[in-house]
Amino acid sequence: MEFNDYDFFVQHADINLYYATKFKAIDLAFYIVGNDGTDLLLVPDMEKERAVRESRVKEIASFGDLGYHDLRKELKDSRKAQAEMLIRLLKTHKARRVGIPTDFPAYLAIPLSQAFEVKVVKSPFLKMRAVKTQKEIEYIGDTSKAIISAFEFALKLLRREKSCDRIRERIENYLYLKGYLASDTIISSGKLSAIPHASGGIVEDHVVMDIFPRSRKHYYYSDFTRTVIVNRNDKIEEMLNAVIEAQEKAISIIREGITAKDVHYTVCDVLESYGYKTLRQKANEGFIHSTGHGVGLEVHEEPRIFENETVLEAGMVFTVEPGLYYKDIGGVRVEDVVVVRKNGCEVLTEYPKRIYLNSI
């Protein structure tokens, strides 16, 4: 890894550190890479042995190895001692320009910015994560299959269970026992479904089910939404038809080389052609969110599929999830996960989109 805008990059303990090192930090850890060849994982003393066992990084140091305990006694503050430990380490490497990720914690970011020319940047690992390996695509495919099996289980439940919270609980239990952890699953109906992230209530005319678990083994997410028609409702069905057409049109244009914006505006074009409002028109009802987001070790990651110029690359995995939301009617959404290929894209969550409960 070679950086242009800085000589060293310091990653704190989050999913990027896991991605880059394969070490699952409990609380604290730092991964430091430099243009001078530095490739160092820095962990609390107690974690050093586990880091040696689990991480792919060759050079592992403990806080103690770098004089942290004396610094803590001297400065009487563990956070100041951590900052000083990092500053001294970077100085021994003659660092001048240091990159830190946007969410790097303030108690370290501010002292570092006083000691070095600090650049706050998107973590380079975020960018690497956006393009998946074949193995990662298999993992996301595996989670996708589990979601579809849970969704079919939910369709059966929907015949007798009318509490959205209870359906949600049953879906999450089902997935957990199969080895997947779903949190914040959205099951909403009636007018409540006009709030994209709301969940709960009683099953009315239609149900939006948005299920996005991660594997308990390989940790990769997938994300899938279907809108099920329970009782005929012309307005909801018209909205759903427009959303399905917009989603399919968008999926049909996805391939290496086009931009995120091309995908998003394809969705907007179709929805607007039916008279629905979109964010492009500064609407606060209608299509009021982005078209999608990357999926991987996090449920929301790069690339974002919105008004951005991000160029799609083969191996990128993201959702395509147009929706329409009206307070007086309710909301509908259809969501699939796709992998970008050279000449098109592959859908990992293939499943019918027009689902009438009474005709299943």
Part of the chain binding its own copies (CB under 8 A), chosen from 96-104, 232-240, 248-256, 336-344:
96-104
Rounded CA-CA distance 237/101 in Å is 44
**Minimum CB distance to its own copies, residue 98 (Å):** 11
Does 120 sit near its own copies (CB under 8 A)?
A: yes
Given 162, 300, 341, 353, the residue binding its own copies (CB under 8 A):
300
**Minimum CB distance to its own copies, residue 234 (Å):** 25
Burial 38-49, CB ≥16 within 10 A → b, else e? bebbbbbeebbe
C-beta closer to its own copies: residue 23 or 345 = 23
Rounded CA-CA distance 233/328 in Å is 13
DSSP three-state, residue 259: strand
DSSP three-state, residue 72: helix
Given 5, 36, 49, 350, the residue binding its own copies (CB under 8 A):
49
Does 116 sit near its own copies (CB under 8 A)?
A: no
Does 324 sit near its own copies (CB under 8 A)?
A: no
Given 249, 289, 341, 354, the residue binding its own copies (CB under 8 A):
289
Q: For 163, how many CA atoms within 13 A lie in the half-sphere containing its CB?
A: 4
C-beta closer to its own copies: residue 119 or 354 = 119
Cβ within 8 Å of residue 102, ≥6 positions away: 120, 121, 122, 123
Does 356 sit near its own copies (CB under 8 A)?
A: no
Where in 281-356 does DSSP place strands (E)?
292-294, 301-305, 317-320, 323-326, 330-333, 336-341, 344-347, 355-356
Given 2, 4, 133, 177, the residue binding its own copies (CB under 8 A):
177
Does 67 sit near its own copies (CB under 8 A)?
A: no
Part of the chain binding its own copies (CB under 8 A), chosen from 86-94, 95-103, 232-240, 340-348:
95-103
Given 56, 69, 159, 342, the residue binding its own copies (CB under 8 A):
69
Does 305 sit near its own copies (CB under 8 A)?
A: no
How many residues form the binding site for its own copies (CB under 8 A)? Answer: 42
Cβ within 8 Å of residue 318, ≥6 positions away: 292, 293, 294, 295, 303, 305, 337, 338, 340
The answer to whether 115 and 293 are in contact (CB under 8 A) is no
Part of the chain binding its own copies (CB under 8 A), chosen from 44-52, 143-151, 237-245, 329-337:
44-52
Given 184, 257, 311, 356, the residue binding its own copies (CB under 8 A):
184
Q: How far is CA 37 from CA 31, 63, 106, 129, 169, in A?
A: 13, 20, 27, 21, 49
**Minimum CB distance to its own copies, residue 322 (Å):** 14
Peptide bond before 303: cis, by omega within 30 degrees of 0?
yes
What residues between 190 and 209 interact with its own copies by CB under 8 A?
195-198
> Residue 10 belongs to what H/E stretch?
strand 8-12
**Minimum CB distance to its own copies, residue 249 (Å):** 23
Does 135 sit near its own copies (CB under 8 A)?
A: no
Rounded CA-CA distance 53/46 in Å is 13
Amino acid (one-letter) located at 27? D
**Minimum CB distance to its own copies, residue 154 (Å):** 17
Given 58, 106, 134, 358, the residue binding its own copies (CB under 8 A):
106
Given 79, 88, 162, 235, the residue binding its own copies (CB under 8 A):
79
Burial 269-289, CB ≥16 within 10 A → b, else e? ebbbeeebbbbbeeeeebbbb
Positions in the binding site for its own copies (CB under 8 A): 24, 26-27, 45-47, 49-50, 53, 64, 69, 79, 100-107, 109-110, 113, 118, 120, 172-173, 176-177, 181, 183-184, 195-198, 216, 282, 284, 288-289, 300
